[in-house]
Amino acid sequence: MDKLPIDYAKTLLELKQKINQSKYESLKAVNKELILMYLDIGKVISEKIKVGWGSSVIDTLSKDLQSYYPGLKGFSSRNLYRMKLIFEEIANFSISPQLVAKLPWGHSDLIFSKINNTEQRLFYIQRCIERGWSRGILEEEIKT
């Protein structure tokens, strides 16, 4: 093999950084779509319960969705209920779904289940986004 150019290592590093950045941006885009889908599911469930379907439909939806999408996680009864609850909280308190979609679902679930005050929720959402908090760090911050 011929001798590598002097700037080969630098070029390789730049390419790795571009690849890693693209992978990261792709994951963020997928997460955003997932969260928006969860909020949309929450909206549909909320609306159906309001027109008389009853909350027991959540268990049936969960079983049917899990049966139809056997390898896909996220459709447990608990998670469907959380989708409904988080959607309703966002709708009732004018929190932007786009803002919530910047967080992993577990972060949103934790914030909306542990904090009742809208201003505090927004504070923790912003901090997670700005500081890149893990769920564990978020949990510790909420406790203090």
pLDDT tens, position by position, 18-34: 999 999 999 999 999 99
pLDDT confidence band for 93 (50 / 70 / 90): confident
pLDDT reported for residue 126: 95
- Return the structure tokens found at 19: 């690849």
Interatomic CA distance for residues 124 and 76, integer angstroms: 26
Domain definitions of the chain by residue range:
8-143
99 and 112 Cβ atoms separated by less than 8 Å: no
Output the average pLDDT for the chain: 94
Rounded distance, CA 85 to CA 90, Å? 9
Q: Which tens digit of pLDDT belongs to each residue from 76-89?
A: 999 999 999 999 99
Indicate the pLDDT class of residue 1, thresholds 50, 70 and 90. Answer: low
User: What is the pTM for the complete model shown?
Assistant: 0.84
Q: 112 with 121: CB under 8 angstroms?
A: yes
> What is the length of the chain?
144
Residues of the chain above pLDDT 90, percent: 88
Q: How far is CA 34 from the centre of its chain?
A: 7
Q: Is the dihedral of CA 114, 118, 123, 129 positive or negative?
A: positive
> Between vectors from CA 138 to CA 137 and to CA 142, what angle results, nearest 5°?
115
Report DSSP state, residue 44.
H
Confidence of residue 17 (pLDDT cuts 50, 70, 90): very high
